[in-house]
Amino acid sequence: MQKKIKTIFIGTPDFGVPSLVKLINDENFDIVSVITQEDKKVGRKQKLKAPAIKQTALKYNLPVLQPKKISDIAEKIKQFAPDLIIVIAYSQIIPKQILNIPKYGVLNIHGSLLPKYRGASCIQAAILNGDKTIGVTIMKMEEGLDTGPILSQTKIKISNIDTTEILFDKLSQLGADILIPVIKNYINNKIKPVAQNNVKSSYVGILKKSDGRIDWNKSAYSQEKFIRAMHPWPGSFGELKTENQTIKIINVKHEPVLINKHKSGTIFLDDNKLFIQCAKDSLEIKKLQLSGKKIMTAQEFINGYSKYIGKILE
């Protein structure tokens, strides 16, 4: 690579930050612009908060664009005359008119081993389905959703304590570690993109808050995976309707306990430990959170909210 590669970086959440920083600090790349989503109101006070990618870009004094629709700034992107565009977790489809602008195309880092789990909630899906491995795919983008030809894939093992939050961080760093070597090999014609096998494809959509509601009429083994998959968003929760109280389950012991003597969803004690009965076996609760309260340990719940013991979480 004899000259700097004029690069536009497109992304929004923390997932892309390590990759952006790597590109900024590599002398072979010139980041001419960073494109991200609009600032959003968060929290009870609804204060505007800038996306993580914007915060990082401003830290390095990079120009930032925040269009409502990326198609609105296609001409602006063309004016930058980028050699390359990198997209990581942007949440908008990149239109053909932009895909065709850069000399080397538009590359994307996706948090699954494509063609498996195209779409948004790929990490959650891997945990829910009991996959043994997960990974990142670097592909050349085309008009379809995560359908472009693959440049590189790297996988890691999923442990029985990994949550979506933990794997999010692992894959974020993994993507950053392999991105620049892959780009350089691609530009130097040392990598030939390989078409995806569409027959083996699967899609996963965006999760809603309601998707975190736990169905206690499933096995403890299934629910343990569900709780890990839904952490931190949208969280795993149920309601004590008789008490008008929502309880979020933050952490449970991995191994189900062979207790099957209560109605599904029942909160109970056994040997002074806190459990919830599932359709098959029970889960020992380690941490939980009542609506409007801080996260607490099981023992703190037992000490302060014993009135809920014996109630049914729906």
Domain boundaries, given as residue ranges, for the chain: 5-204, 210-308
Q: pLDDT class for 21, splitting at 50, 70, 90?
A: very high
Query: What whole-number distance in Å separates Cα of residue 57 and Cα of residue 36?
Result: 10
Q: pLDDT class for 89, splitting at 50, 70, 90?
A: very high
Q: pLDDT class for 1, splitting at 50, 70, 90?
A: low
pLDDT tens column, 135-145: 999 999 999 89
Average pLDDT taken over every residue of the chain: 96
pLDDT at 236: 97
What CA dihedral angle connects 105, 110, 116 and 120, to 10 degrees?
Answer: -110
Domain 210-308: give its CATH architecture: Roll (3.10)
Query: Residue 271 above 90 pLDDT?
Result: yes
Query: Residue 295 above 60 pLDDT?
Result: yes
Q: Report, as an integer, the average pLDDT of 83-88.
A: 98
Where do the DSSP E strands lie in 111-244?
118-119, 133-140, 150-157, 203-204, 236-240
Q: Report, as an integer, the average pLDDT of 70-89.
A: 97
Phi, psi of 123, deg, nearest 5:
-70, -45
Query: What whole-number distance in Å separates Cα of residue 276 and Cα of residue 272?
Result: 13
Q: pLDDT class for 294, splitting at 50, 70, 90?
A: very high
Cα within 13 Å of Cα(169), Cβ side: 6
- Nearest alpha carbon to residue 132 among 118, 153, 113: 113
CATH topology classification for 5-204? Rossmann fold (3.40.50)
User: What are the helix (H) ranges across 188-292?
Assistant: 220-229
- Nearest alpha carbon to residue 179 among 17, 19, 2: 19
- b/e string for 128-166 if b means 16 or more Cβ within 10 A? beeeeebbbbbbbbbeeebbbebbbbeeeebeeebbbeb
Q: Report, as an integer, the average pLDDT of 198-219.
A: 96
- Cβ contacts of 262 within 8 Å, gap of 6 or more: 268, 277, 282
Phi, psi of 28, deg, nearest 5:
-85, -5
pLDDT tens column, 123-134: 999 999 999 999
210-308 shares the fold of 5-204 = no
Query: Residue 56 above 90 pLDDT?
Result: yes
Query: Residue 307 above 90 pLDDT?
Result: yes
Query: What whole-number distance in Å separates Cα of residue 167 and Cα of residue 154?
Result: 14
Query: Residue 2 above 90 pLDDT?
Result: no
H or E, element range at 76? helix 74-80
pLDDT tens column, 28-49: 999 999 999 999 988 778 889 9
